Amino acid sequence: MSARVVSVNISDKKGMRKKPVEEVVLKAEYGIEGDAHASSEWHRQVSLLALESIQKMREKGLAVSPGDFAENITTEGIDLVSLPVGTKMQIGDEVVGEVSQIGKECHTRCAIYYQAGDCVMPKEGIFIRVLRGGKVRAGDSVSTDAPV
Q: CA quadruple 57, 62, 67, 69: dihedral positive or negative?
A: negative
What pLDDT is stored for residue 105 in this prediction? 63
pTM for the full predicted model = 0.90
What integer pLDDT is reported at residue 30 of this predicted model? Answer: 96
80 by Cβ neighbours in 10 Å (0-12 / 13-18 / 19+) ranks as buried
pLDDT of residue 35 exceeding 60: yes
Task: Give the other-Cβ count within 10 Å of 116's Cβ.
Answer: 15
What local confidence, expressed as pLDDT, does residue 13 receive? Answer: 82
> What does the domain layout of the chain look like in residue ranges?
4-143
3-state secondary structure of 145: coil
At 59-106, the pLDDT tens digits run 888 888 999 888 999 999 999 999 999 999 999 999 999 999 987 666
Question: Which pLDDT value is given to residue 20?
Answer: 96
CATH of the domain spanning 4-143: 2.40.33.20
Q: What's the confidence (pLDDT) of residue 122? A: 65
- The mean pLDDT of 15-23, rounded to a whole number, is 88
Span 102-128, pLDDT tens digits? 876 665 655 555 555 566 676 889 999
